[in-house]
Structure 1
Amino acid sequence: MENSSFISQNRDEQVCFCGQILATRTSWTENNPNRRFRGCRFYGRPDACDYFSWVDPPPHPRYKNIINGLLRKANNNRNVEMRRLLKLHQIVIEVFMIGAIIVHYVF
């Protein structure tokens, strides 16, 4: 089967082999960061076809390095923020538990 979509006669949208309007998504893999592609909107389901095509050309290696570096940095910052929030939640829970114990023994 040829891997190309066709234009619907009723609409100007491209459709996949199973007749669904193509979904345009963005890849965030290390090899294709921020690269758009089109595919069956039901990809991964048993009744979906495996239509797939790139919208954007392959990224330049320098671009890949920059984007992947920024993504790693953002992920590290997010992890630091998550650890800070978890510590704050832990403190709130501990204060609540101490308050509950005090209320239990005082009243």
Structure 2
Amino acid sequence: MVTEYVDGNAQITERTLCMCGRSTTMRTAWKENNPSRRFLGCSFYRRPNACDYFKWVDPLVQTRYKNIINGLLRNANHKDELVNKLHIKLIYHQIVLAMVVMVVLVHCVL
């Protein structure tokens, strides 16, 4: 594997084979220790037939940047949770409104 750095980004210029002879796949780690850090692994990574081939492509992320990325991820996750809660409330209010309209219509018909 040849890794070149273009504008600070690692570029893979050749295919790498894992220990079981398959082409590796580049993935991105999103764990708190290595957020947004790319790595190469067996194309069957996390499957029963995968080998344990693993190699970092990007250099180690500095602590300051880890904290910034993790903070942004937490904020994004928090916003997603708020949007989901608001969506549930909206559905609840639509159901209640539909029930009120039905009761009014039934009352008007009788």
- TM score, norm. by length of structure 2: 0.74
> What are the equivalent positions in structure 2 for 1:1-107 lying under 5 Å apart?
12-97=14-99
Aligned length: 97
Give, in angstroms, the shift of residue 94 of structure 1: 3.3
Q: CA deviation at 1:56?
A: 0.7
Amino acid across the alignment from 2:75: K
SS of equivalent residue, structure 1 residue 48: coil
Q: Displacement, 1:67?
A: 0.7
Q: Which residue number corresponds to residue 9 of structure 1?
A: none
- For structure 2, the residue ranges without an aligned partner over 5 or more in a row are 2-13
Counterpart code for 2:89: K
Deviation at 1:97, TM superposition (A): 4.8
Unaligned runs of 5+ in 1: 6-11
Q: Supply the RMSD in Å over aligned alpha carbons.
A: 2.2
% same residue: 47
The change in CA–CA distance for 1:42 and 1:101 in structure 2 (over 3 A counts) is farther
